[in-house]
Amino acid sequence: MKTKIILTMLSFAVLLACNTKENRSFVPGIYINNTSGNYSIADDTLNIQASDGNRFTIERKTGFNLIRDGKKGKREHETESWNAVLDKKTGVLRETQRGKALIFYPDSNMLMIGKRKYKKVN
């Protein structure tokens, strides 16, 4: 139990150290993620744009192929629009509808949403 508390505190400290107020200038841009598994292949693109104050708009475009019986299916596409608010203390961008946390790592040109890593391309 004590170990879990210590690890949680260390994780939070790292989060604060990596995500400061300076992230606001890093946040806007295009981020990509490519994943594949036994059941699908997907390419994800996030286009993040600054709005008013600490608000951002995000357009997510996903192209994917489902894999059934070992065969890749036809390419399919989905588009989503998100709104998000940047926490100025932590630098975390929080999507407003589902509460997803977008965590930025400017030093490695990366964004994390859960376990999914996105690379900034511009």
- pLDDT at residue 122, as a whole number: 86
Provide the percentage of residues in the chain whose pLDDT is more than 70. 80
**CB-CB contact of 84 with 108 (8 Å):** no
- pLDDT at residue 55, as a whole number: 96
Confidence at 10, pLDDT banded by 50, 70, 90: very low
Domain count, the chain: 1
For residue 111, the cross-strand partners are: 104, 118
Comparing 20-24, 33-37, 52-56, 60-64, the range with the smallest average pLDDT is: 20-24
How far apart, in Å, are the Cα atoms of 112 and each of 27, 51, 53, 102? 12, 21, 22, 6
- pLDDT at residue 26, as a whole number: 85
Residue 64 makes CB contacts below 8 A (sequence gap 6+) with 40, 41, 42, 43, 75, 76, 77, 78
Give the domain range for residue 48: 2-120
* CA pair distance 82, 61, nearest whole angstrom: 11
**86: burial class by Cβ within 10 Å (0-12, 13-18, 19+)?**
buried
**22: burial class by Cβ within 10 Å (0-12, 13-18, 19+)?**
exposed
Confidence at 23, pLDDT banded by 50, 70, 90: low
Average pLDDT over residues 9-19: 46
Residue-wise pLDDT for 76-120, tens only, equals 999 999 999 999 888 899 999 999 999 999 999 999 999 999 999
pLDDT at 16 over 90: no
* CA pair distance 122, 29, nearest whole angstrom: 6
* CA pair distance 105, 95, nearest whole angstrom: 17
CATH number for the domain harbouring residue 21: 2.40.128
